[in-house]
Amino acid sequence: MLYLIGLGLGDAEDITVKGLEAVRRCGRVYLEAYTSVLPAGREALEKFYGKELILADREMVEQEADSILKDADVSDVAFLVVGDPFGATTHSDLVLRAVNLGIPYRVIHNASIMNAVGCCGLQLYNFGETVSIVFWTDTWKPESFFDKIKKNRQNGVHTLCLLDIKVKEQSVENLIKGRKVYEPPRYMSVNQAAEQLLTIIQNRRLQGEEPEITENTICVGLARVGAEDQKIASGTLHQMSTVELGGPLHSMIVTGTMHPLELEMLKLFSVDSSTFENDAFQRNA
């Protein structure tokens, strides 16, 4: 049996009882280590679970999935995912491979950023399409995510922005030369994401467009959701470009039309309480 087990968002104890029981009876336990990170760290997980964890990076999951599934038809294998197992399309691919090999599977769900984001007070059914904001390079600066945010805002709904994670990435030079030398991990912060959005806004204005999203659009920054040191900050997009929320992982929300209760909740986390009272807010909230 292949078990896909969600670990939740905070620490080792966030796994469900059902998930923990499955982990402890599995012969091999893999920890997916590239779509997200758990603040607790690998050693804390191993101590709590009483199991050695095999780190599964992107290369292993996408190119060597058969090694994960080996003997899963006659023994139990666990694949652990921070958040919920289906937070990334890669994990659906693993399920399909298992089915094609005649291996039974079971999914044990847990909290993910997709539902825990409600901690800021914005109502989950008021969210539109989720977007990913990627790190720009000198030669690659995509703006497609901005158009999705704009469409959501035109429809009056909020946008959850998942911020880029670079784990075990190779430089272009090392990739070309086939050297397995990896860059240090990088995690996009709320202020980096906000800066990229502000740059796109300026680009659109130079093209004669007045974007649906401006410097004064109300946004929410979230860091380490589910952990003991979780942080939430609300304010304008411009304020998000200077806010400091500490270590990873970060997410950001660009708000749409807000219910009065949502507004009152966001005031609890305001960078500057006057933001929610001034004329700019009244025009752009």
Question: Is 222 marked as binding a ligand?
Answer: no
Question: Is 250 marked as binding a ligand?
Answer: yes
Question: Is 259 marked as binding a ligand?
Answer: no
Q: Which helix (H) or strand (E) holds 4?
A: strand 2-6
Beta 218-223 vs 250-254: how paired, if at all?
antiparallel
DSSP state letter for 158:
B
The burial class, CB within 10 Å (0-12 / 13-18 / 19+), for 132 is middle
Give the Cα separation of 66 and 145 in Å (integer): 34
Name the amino acid, one letter, at 203.
N
Question: Is 198 marked as binding a ligand?
Answer: no
CB 262 within 8 A of CB 234: no
For 2, residues 6+ apart whose C-beta sits below 8 A from its C-beta are 69, 72, 77, 79, 94, 95, 98, 103, 104, 105, 106
Question: Is 163 marked as binding a ligand?
Answer: yes
What residues does 106 pair with on adjacent strands?
A: 3
Nearest-5° angle of CA 87, CA 88, CA 93?
A: 125
Question: Is 113 marked as binding a ligand?
Answer: yes
3-state SS of the chain: helix, strand, coil percent to 5? 40, 20, 40
User: 114 — alpha (psi -120 to 50), left (phi > 0) or beta?
Assistant: alpha
How far, in Å, are 4, 31, 211 from residue 204 at the CA level? 43, 42, 7
Annotated binding residues, as ranges? 9, 84, 87, 112-113, 163, 225, 250
Annotated binding site for S-adenosyl-L-methionine: 9, 84, 87, 112-113, 163, 225, 250
